[in-house]
């Protein structure tokens, strides 16, 4: 019953910028699971073609943190002899955007199933509560989590700034799957497997573009929906890209539901633009691309954030999207053979969610968050307290979820130096660069100096 309300949600969700390269947003489509490459979606416990199966006791390259043990004692809220209560927040009940990030809930359900099948964490089973913030109730569900959970794991909310301080105040720990606002991304007591640092930006793709398409980099355009979250994202990208040689000759805000993109296309054409980026939902961008095609405007480079890594985008766009590139930092679903950790996630996802399984980039991150949590919790042994958890998490300076994604630094909240460029091809995605693995380089990370907000703090 709301217009921008839901659209903001979509946009915000679209901009779940994690790892500074954005993330894949789950809008309810069969995201990213190309039927040819997928194993999990078929509901078969057997793995995909080519033996991309994790070895026994491993999740990809990570020794599994889940297993039996004899931990006991009610050492903190939510912890008992037998179980650890954790909760995962997402927004599938959002009235305006139903099913938003359902993949996150599903991924955590799959993770908990997996973990408990091995004995849980030190023998304590994970007791999962799925919380639905439905966009506007984020603060309330955080309060709910405060009441009974030991920790929040794997989730996130499109309007997470509304509950960031509440969580800190009630002493929870959040091993988040993703964050959106700076309040949350820079918050105390929040750890992410792929951090989304507000004051860093991954310019890997930018540097490559400067090399391969120098003309395009000097005639760059960025369009963004005029909502605070997309505006902020665009500002950050501009600041970051200009540090590595970009020159933005055209920056334009656009309304959600804009009917007439022609003026923008004409303006870009007149300005000699050869690089186009957009900070918004993919539906909006499809309209822009259609308008570009109508006017015969074909920029050299179209460079999109990870929220476009969703099959719904090429499905909706059709041929106009061909050649557009999307930058991601998680293991691609299309790889053949798939990363073993990814295959494990897909396996367990199809086992627990069956035909409704929604593989999603954020689901991958959620699964990784689950592993990160379990790893830290395991190290605490029987004396599982929030303080201990924090201590352990503060020591994880390199984390890649066993191969689920590029390595990053959860403890210091530093983004990954790696990236992959995917390209839209034939109604789906394919690798554009590099041919395999990730392209990593410390120069891929730049620091931002603009004012983009602050995190919730324990003194706050």
Partner 1 sequence: MSRLGDTGRWGVGLALGVGLCGYLIAFQGGFSDWLTFTILGITTGAIYAIAASGLVVTYTTSGIFNFAQGAFGMLGAFAYWQLRYDWGWPAPIALAAILLVVAPLFGALVERVIMRGLEGVSEITSTVVTIGLLAMAIGIANIVWPPAGRRVDQFFAGESVTVGAINVTWHRIVIVVVAVAVAVGLRFLLYRTRSGVAMRAVVDDRSLSQLNGGNPGRSAMLSWGLGASLAALSGILIAPLLQLSVLPLTLLIVNAYAAAMFGRLKSLPLTFAGGLVIGIAENYSANYLDLNTTEVAGVSLAGLQPAIPVILLFLILIALPSERLRTGGVQRVRESARVPTMRSALLAGGALVVVTIAASRVMSTANVTRLSLGLATAVIILSLVPLVGYGGQISLAAMTFAGLGAFAMVKVADGPGPLVGLLAAAALAAVVGAVIALPALRLAGIYLALATAAFAVFMEKFIFTQSWFFGAGSIQVPRPEVLGLTFDDDRSYLVLLSVLFALLGTGVVWLRRGPFGRRLSAMKDSPAACATLGLDLTRTKVGVFAFSAGIAGIGGALFGGVSGSVSSETFLFAQSLPILLMGVVGGIALVSGALLGGLLLQFFSTVGENFTLLASALFVGPLITNFALVAPGLIGILLSRNPDGLAADLVTAVARAGRWVREGRSRPEQDTGPDPLDTATFERPLTPAERAAVDRALGLDPQELARGSA
DSSP 8-class letter at 310: S
430 binds partner 1 (CB under 8 A): no
Closer residue to partner 1 (CB): 42 or 144: 144
Q: List binders of partner 1 among 95-114 (CB under 8 A).
A: 95-99
Residue 355 binds to partner 1 (criterion: CB under 8 A): no
Residues 318-347 that bind partner 1 (CB under 8 A): 318
Q: Which of 117, 262, 395, 397 binds partner 1 (CB under 8 A)?
A: 262
- Minimum CB distance to partner 1 smaller for 334 or for 339: 334
- Considering the rule CB under 8 A, would residue 120 count as an interface residue with partner 1? no
Is residue 43 close enough to count as binding partner 1 by CB under 8 A? no
Residues 188-227 contacting partner 1, CB under 8 A: 226
CA dist., res. 61 & res. 58, Å (int)? 6
Is the peptide bond prior to 434 cis by the omega test (within 30 degrees of 0)? yes
From residue 128 to residue 167, what is the string marking binding to partner 1 with x (rule CB under 8 A)? --x-x-x-xx-xxx-xx-xx-----------x-xxx-xx-
Q: Is 457 in the site for partner 1 (CB under 8 A)?
A: no
Q: Under 8 Å CB-to-CB from 218, ≥6 apart: which residues?
A: 245, 246, 247
Assess 351 for contact with partner 1 (CB under 8 A). no
Site for partner 1 in 221-250 (CB under 8 A): 226, 228-229, 232
> Using DSSP, how many helices (H) and how many strands (E) does the chain show?
14, 17
**Closest approach of Cβ 383 to partner 1, in Å?**
28
Other CB atoms within 10 Å distance of the CB of residue 238: 20
Burial class (CB within 10 angstroms; exposed 0-12, middle 13-18, buried 19+) of 388: middle
127, 98, 124: which is closest to 113 by C-alpha? Answer: 127
For residue 132, the Cα-to-chain-centroid distance in whole angstroms is 18
Question: According to the 3-state scheme, what is the secondary structure of 329-382?
Answer: CECCCCCCCCCHHHHHHHHHHHHHHHHHCCCCHHHHHHHHHHHHHHHHHHHHCC
How many residues at the interface with partner 1, by CB under 8 A? 70
Collapse the DSSP code of 251 into the 3-class scheme (helix H, G, I; strand E, B; otherwise coil) and give the result.
strand
Based on the shown chain and the rule CB under 8 A, indicate whether residue 450 belongs to the binding site for partner 1. no
One of 33, 66, 286, 422 touching partner 1 (CB under 8 A): 286
Least Cβ distance, residue 166 to partner 1 (angstroms): 8
User: Least CB distance from residue 209 to partner 1, whole Å?
Assistant: 25
Q: Are 112 and 126 contacting, i.e. CB atoms less than 8 angstroms apart?
A: yes
CB nearer to partner 1: pick between 63 and 318: 318
- Is 211 or 319 the residue whose CB approaches partner 1 more closely? 319
Which of 117, 260, 395, 397 is the binder for partner 1 (CB under 8 A)? 260
HSE at residue 426, side-chain half, CA atoms within 13 A, is 4
Closer to partner 1 by CB, 296 or 442: give it.
Answer: 296
Could you say which of 16, 317, 344, 415 contacts partner 1 (CB under 8 A)?
A: 317
Among 50, 63, 214, 263, binds partner 1 (CB under 8 A): 263
What does residue 214 show for φ and ψ, rounded to 5 degrees? -60, -35
Helix (H) or strand (E) holding 242: helix 228-243
Q: Look at residue 420 and give its three-state secondary structure.
A: strand
Are the C-beta atoms of 339 and 404 separated by less than 8 Å? yes
CB of 317 to partner 1, least distance (A): 7
Nearer to partner 1, 381 or 453 (CB): 453
Interaction between residue 296 and partner 1 (CB under 8 A):
yes
Q: Does 259 bind partner 1 (CB under 8 A)?
A: yes
- Among 23, 29, 75, 179, interactor with partner 1 by CB under 8 A: 29
Q: Please, are residues 159 and 12 in contact by the beta-carbon 8 Å criterion?
A: yes
Tokens for 6? 């839901």
Q: Which is nearer to partner 1, 313 or 348 (CB)?
A: 313
Q: Which residues contact 254 (CB under 8 A, 6 or more apart)?
A: 223, 224, 225, 226, 261, 264, 280, 284, 288
- Three-state DSSP at 47 gives coil
Identify which of 229, 278, 269 has the alpha carbon closest to the alpha carbon of residue 251. Answer: 278
Does position 289 interact with partner 1 (CB under 8 A)? The reply is no
How do strand 418-425 and strand 428-433 relate by DSSP bridges? antiparallel
Q: Could you say which of 45, 74, 266, 430 contacts partner 1 (CB under 8 A)?
A: 266
User: Which residues sit at the interface with partner 1, rule CB under 8 A?
Assistant: 1-8, 27-30, 92-93, 95-99, 130, 132, 134, 136-137, 139-141, 143-144, 146-147, 159, 161-163, 165-166, 181, 226, 228-229, 232, 252-253, 255-257, 259-260, 262-263, 266, 283, 286-287, 290, 294-296, 310-318, 452-453
């Amino acid at each position: 019953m709301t217009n921008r309300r839901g659209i903001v949600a979509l946009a915000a969700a679209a901009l779940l910028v994690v790892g500074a390269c954005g993330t894949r947003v789950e809008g309810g489509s069969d995201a990213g699971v190309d039927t040819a490459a997928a194993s999990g979606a078929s509901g078969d416990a057997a793995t995909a073609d080519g033996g991309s199966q994790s070895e026994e006791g491993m999740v990809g390259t990570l020794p599994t943190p889940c297993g039996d043990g004899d931990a006991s004692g009610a050492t903190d809220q939510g912890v008992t002899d037998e179980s650890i209560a954790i909760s995962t927040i997402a927004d599938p009940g959002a009235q305006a955007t139903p099913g938003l990030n359902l993949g996150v809930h599903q991924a955590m359900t799959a993770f908990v199933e997996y973990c408990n099948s091995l004995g849980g964490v030190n023998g304590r089973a994970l007791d999962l509560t799925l919380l639905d913030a439905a966009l506007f109730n984020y603060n309330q569900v955080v309060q709910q989590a405060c009441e009974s959970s030991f920790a929040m794991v794997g989730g996130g909310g499109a309007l997470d700034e509304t509950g960031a301080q509440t969580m800190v105040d009630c002493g929870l720990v959040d091993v988040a799957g993703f964050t959106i606002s700076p309040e949350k991304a820079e918050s105390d007591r929040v750890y992410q497997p792929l951090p989304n640092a507000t004051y860093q930006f991954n310019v890997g793709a930018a540097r490559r573009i400067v090399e391969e398409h120098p003309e395009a980099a000097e005639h760059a355009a960025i369009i963004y929906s005029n909502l605070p979250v997309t505006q902020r994202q665009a500002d950050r990208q501009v600041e970051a890209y200009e540090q590595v040689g970009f020159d933005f000759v055209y920056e334009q805000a656009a309304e959600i539901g804009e009917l007439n993109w022609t003026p923008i296309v004409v303006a870009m054409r007149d300005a000699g633009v050869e690089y186009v980026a957009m900070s918004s939902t993919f539906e909006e961008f499809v309209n822009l691309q259609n308008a570009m095609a109508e006017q015969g405007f074909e920029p050299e480079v179209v460079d999109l954030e990870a929220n476009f890594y969703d099959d719904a985008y090429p499905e909706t766009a059709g041929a106009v999207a061909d050649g557009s590139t999307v930058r991601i930092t998680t293991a691609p679903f299309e790889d053949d053979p798939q990363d073993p950790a990814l295959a494990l996630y897909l396996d367990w996802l199809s086992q627990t969610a069956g035909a409704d399984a929604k593989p999603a980039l954020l689901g991958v991150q959620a699964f990784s968050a689950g592993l990160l949590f379990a790893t830290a919790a395991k190290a605490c042994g029987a004396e599982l307290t929030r303080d201990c958890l924090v201590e352990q998490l503060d020591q994880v300076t390199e984390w890649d979820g066993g191969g689920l994604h590029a390595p990053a630094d959860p403890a210091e909240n530093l983004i990954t130096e790696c990236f992959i460029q995917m390209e839209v091809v034939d109604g789906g995605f394919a690798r554009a660069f590099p041919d395999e693995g990730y392209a990593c380089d410390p120069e891929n990370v730049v620091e931002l100096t603009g004012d983009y907000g602050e995190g919730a703090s324990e003194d706050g």
